[in-house]
Each structure stands twice: as structure tokens, then as C-alpha cells.
Amino acid sequence: MRIDSLRLQLLRWLLLPLAGLVAVNVFTSWRQASATADLVTDRTLDASVRAIAEDVRIDRGVIDAIVPPVALEMFDTGHRDRVFYRVDTAAGRLLTGYPDLPLPEPPPKASAPVHFTGSYRGNDLRLAALSYPLVGATDGERVTVVVGVTLAGHAAMVRELWVGNFGQQLILLVAAGVLVIIGLGRGLAPLMRLREAVMEKGRDDLSPLPDHAVQSELRPLVAALNTYMGRVAGQMAAQRRFVANAAHQLRTPLALLSTQVAFARRTGEAAERAEALAGAEESTRRLARLASQLLTLSRAEPGSRRPRDEDIDLAQSARQVLEGLAHLAVERDIDLGLDVNAAAVTRGDGAMMREAVVNLVENALRYTPKGGTVTVTVDGGAGEAGSEAVLVVEDSGPGIPLEERDKVFERFYRVLGTPGEGSGIGLSIVREVVDGAGGTLVLGTAAAGGLRVEMRLPGV
């Protein structure tokens, strides 16, 4: 069975072994009590047989075997024990007593008593037997005296000796349990306080917990908790910044859309209304693109999702992208081309890499005037160690002035004087993706005078 409570677990680990020890202790103490009772009973039996034996005498050939009362009275301990005895000659003649009382096997020889157990008339007995020289005999004749006693007094003594001990042990066990519970309560109090500290914090409060109030064993836990909360707080802050930024970015196009609609509603001229509605349509299209770009950017941000790690064939990616954007090139009468000089393979997240290439090529197509050219070149070491996978996008557009080149990667930055279209997000997406793949991004001037974007990625 699984026990989730730390208290119960500790209690179990402390009390179960303790109970085992107590059980062993109780068993041994019972054995000791039993041995003590045996000893006491045996002493009494010894005294009894001696007293009887010393009183058997032979006088003028007549053996006189009279059992002195004291030999039997010494067993009267208030437990109604019954006492049996017999006295025999060495030849086996019963002098007095109970003739079928068990005899020791083998019969006693020396003058020290022997002890044994037996049963008589349905009673368990403890017995002692003594071979003793017959007083007054001249030929060294001996008598054998056997005395047996029932076990009530013996059992009472064992009980008395053992129960007291058992009670002490039980009290010890209960006391240990109580002390363990109290100790655990006190020991766990900082942990409980820590739990309350975690629980009572406001939902938005991710500030670190103090670690001075907990035991040294718990400090690593608090530190880990704080590190984790720090990470969560960082991600939340980045998310909040992003959402705020995104909302900010959507406001101006929305204002434009609402202005166009307002104009369309007010103007009386059909031509003006048509123009305003066409503008509104275009604004809507651009807002949709902005929204999807924002989504892509949020996915490209570090920590926003688990990036895939796969081999990316840049030539293949570029081909896919160009096929997807061919309609745009045709629409704008732009010569869009792909040159693959050598196979270029890198590692990273393929979907995000294609997204980056889409943004580069889309940018190039957008800013290149009608009739211009956009060329994508893929180059690589063809699998050689340490080689780089390179993708270059060149256009014949206006390019980006030198002093602006650092800024265009900043989010939402737009080059001054560039007409309508762009959102200022495309190159940010590209940079996030290339950074994520461990590559570099260089802006330059193309042979045709436009922009040249070079993406260098670690080869495979």
C-alpha cells in the first residue's frame, strides 16, 4: 500500500520496527519469567522432598514413612495447587503415597534431587525426585521420594512476572508513538508553513519564497521552487510584452480600416466609395497577414514551444517556398529564380526555417518594383565537416541604407519612407529562427543594387 502522508510514512518506519523489538522483548521476558518460576517451584519441590526423605527412618526393621505436613504446606500459595507424592524403597516397594505417580527416567542415583515434568490424573505436574539414604539403616539402603505439584502457582507466577514487564513495554511503545507524532508535527511545521506560503500567494505573485525559515534539507527544494517560479515569471513577462506589442501593432491598421469604412459610409460619390471599400478590403487582407505573422513570431520566440530538431535540406525548403510564392511574382511581373550550387543541409526546426525563408522572399518580392528580379541561392559544403549551409536572397529593390541595417531586425521597425505594405515583423521572424538554429544573418547590397540577405547556418 502506498502512503502519501509523510507523517504516516515516518510513523510507520519508526513504529513498526519498534513494535517488532517490543515483541521480541516480550517473548524473551516471558521465557525469563517462565525460567524464574521453574526455579522457584524446583526449590520448593527440593525442600519438600528433603523434608520427606529426612523423616523416613527404619527402626528395628520397620520402615516408618510418615509425611510431615510442612512438606506439603509449603505449596499452599493460594492457587489451590494439588500436591502428590510417593516414597519407595530402592527395591521398588511403595512405602506411602500415590502408587502411579510418574517416576523419573532413569531413577535418581546421587543425593541431589532431579526435576522433571509429567502428568497425573489429568494434571500437568512439575516433579522432583530424590534418592536418600534411609535413616537408621545399616546396610546403606535408600529410599526414593517423589513430589509433584500442579502448575497453577507456577502459571500465576509467570503471569505476574511477565505481565508487569509487558505493561512497561506497552507504555514505552505508546510513549514513543506519541513523541514521534509530536516531534513530526514540530519538525514538519516549517514544511507546512512553506506550503501555506505557496498556497496563499496571489495568483500573479511569482516572487521568490524566503528560504531562511526552513530546515537546511528543505532549502534546495525552496531554491528549486524559486528558480522554477523565476522561469515562469520570465516567460509570462515575455508573453505579456508580446501581447502588448501585438495589440499595439494591430491598433494602427484597425484605425485605418475604421477610417476607410467611415469615409465609404459618408461619401456620396460612387467612385470614392468604391476606392474606400477597396482600401478597406486591402486593409483587412493586411491585418490577416499581420495576425498570422504575429502568430509565427510568437512560435519562433525562445521558450514558446519545443522546437523540433531535424535535418533540413535548404534547397528543398527554398523550392517549396518559391513554388508557394510564384503567384505573387507573376502578379508583380518579377523574375523569381532559384540557384542551387551545392547541397546544403542544416539542423533545426524545418517548419520554422521555411517560415523564415517565406518572410525573406516575400519581403524581397514586396519591395522590388515591377519587372525586377529576385534570386534565391543555396550553397553548402555538401556534407563536409565544419561546412556551412548558406541561403542568399537578392533583389533589385531599393535595398536598405547602411545606417538602418541594424535596426530592421528590431521588432516592428520599418524603414522610413517605405510605402504601406510591411508590418515590420518579417525580419524579426527570420532573426529569431536563425538565432534558434545557431546561424548568422548578414545584410548587404546585391549585385543588382537591391538588398542581399545572407543566412549562414551550421552544416550537418
CB closer to another protein, 55 vs 275: 275
In three-state secondary structure terms, 176 is: helix
Which three three-digit cell numbers place residue 48? 519438600
Amino acid symbol at 369: P
Q: Shortest distance, CB of residue 304 to another protein, whole angstroms?
A: 24
Kindly provide the residue ranges of all beta strands, DSSP E only, lying in 192-321, ordered along the sequence.
310-313
Residue 94: CB atoms within 10 Å: 14
CB closer to another protein, 260 vs 296: 260
Distance CA 318, CA 324 (A): 10
Long-range (24+ apart) CB contacts under 8 A made by 416-425 are 418/367, 420/286, 421/286, 421/366, 422/363, 422/366, 422/367, 423/249, 423/286, 423/289, 423/290, 423/293, 424/249, 425/249, 425/290, 425/293, 425/294, 425/297
Q: Shortest distance, CB of residue 405 to another protein, whole angstroms?
A: 16
Q: Shortest distance, CB of residue 400 to another protein, whole angstroms?
A: 14
Q: Shortest distance, CB of residue 322 to another protein, whole angstroms?
A: 29
Q: Shortest distance, CB of residue 339 to another protein, whole angstroms?
A: 36
Q: Shortest distance, CB of residue 252 to another protein, whole angstroms?
A: 5
Q: Cα–Cα distances in Å, from 207 out to 55, 385, 395?
A: 99, 47, 50
* Cα Rg of the chain (Å, integer): 53
CB closer to another protein, 120 vs 409: 409
Which phi and psi angles does 74 have, rounded to 5°? -65, -15
Q: Shortest distance, CB of residue 250 to another protein, whole angstroms?
A: 8
C-alpha closest to that of 38 among 119, 148, 160, 151: 151
Phi-psi region of 320 (alpha: psi -120 to 50; beta: other; left: phi over 0): alpha
CB closer to another protein, 94 vs 261: 261
Q: Shortest distance, CB of residue 242 to another protein, whole angstroms?
A: 15
CB closer to another protein, 16 vs 262: 262
CB closer to another protein, 291 vs 448: 291
List residues binding another protein (CB under 8 A): 248-249, 251-252, 254-260, 262-263, 266-267, 276, 279, 283, 416, 419-420
CB closer to another protein, 210 vs 420: 420
CB closer to another protein, 273 vs 456: 273
Which three three-digit cell numbers place residue 211? 528560504
